[in-house]
Amino acid sequence: MPNKKSTEKKAAPKRRSPISRAEGERRLIQAAKQLIRNKPFSEVGVRDIALLADVNHGFVHTWFGGKNELFLALVREELLALAEAVPLAAPGTPAINFFDPEVVSLVRLVLWLDLEGADTSELFSHMPILEALTTRYIEVEKLDPAMARYAAIQAISIGLGANTFGPLLGMTGTETVAPVMKLWRHIVGLLAKYPPT
């Protein structure tokens, strides 16, 4: 009598259906975003990302060049999403919540990529958030265009500083950073009312 196990067919491995490059890149970016929420960046591997995305891991190298370049693509996508949200913020409120867990993760990822030797300078050569904040300060706060750009640079710097070093200064959330942001709102109001000469 033949061995029952030897006559049974093994289940065929899951076959990936063909996808377009755009769809594959989207899946890989979303998978990377999901994985870095729960693991240190250094522990998220290309194979982990590809498995979650249901995309062959070789495409990470073909389409992006490697894991760090995939992470850079993720950062670019998130920066664009943040910039698109800036005009939607109500006047008198922060346009970007630097303590949102997604923003915190994004800032940490950029710092990690920089420490890993990735070229992060291109992320800031065309900075959509800077442009969006500048426009907001011109249209909503009525700042002079040149002053609006400097105010936007300062706002980003304050937000990044609070995000990165806030916990060391006892700022652990929106409530503890509120006085700093209130002071910044006051400064913006003064710049609009009394522009420097």
**Residue 49 and residue 28 in contact, taking contact as beta carbons nearer than 8 Å:** yes
pTM beyond 0.85, yes or no: no
110, part of any domain: yes
Instruction: Looking at the structure, tell me whether residues 123 and 189 fall in a common domain.
Output: yes
Phi first, then psi: give them for residue 89, nearest 5 degrees.
-70, 140
Instruction: Looking at the structure, tell me whether residues 183 and 125 fall in a common domain.
Output: yes
5, part of any domain: no
The residue segments making up the domain with residue 32 are: 17-65
Q: pLDDT tens across 22-42, in order?
A: 999 999 999 999 999 889 999
The pLDDT-based confidence of 12 (bands split at 50, 70, 90) is very low
Tallying the residues shown for the chain, one arrives at: 197
Instruction: Looking at the structure, tell me whether residues 29 and 101 fall in a common domain.
Output: no
Phi first, then psi: give them for residue 133, nearest 5 degrees.
-65, -40
Q: pLDDT tens across 146-193, in order?
A: 889 988 888 888 888 877 887 888 877 777 877 877 787 788 778 877
Average pLDDT over residues 94-113: 87
What CATH number has the domain bearing residue 50? 1.10.10
CB neighbours of residue 9 within 10 Å = 5
Instruction: Looking at the structure, tell me whether residues 26 and 100 fall in a common domain.
Output: no
Q: How far apart are CA 188 and CA 148, in angstroms?
A: 9
Q: How far apart are CA 185 and CA 179, in angstroms?
A: 10
Instruction: Looking at the structure, tell me whether residues 45 and 128 fall in a common domain.
Output: no
Q: pLDDT tens across 84-94, in order?
A: 999 998 887 77
Instruction: Looking at the structure, tell me whether residues 57 and 92 fall in a common domain.
Output: no
Contacts of 78 (CB under 8 A, 6+ apart): 33, 102, 106
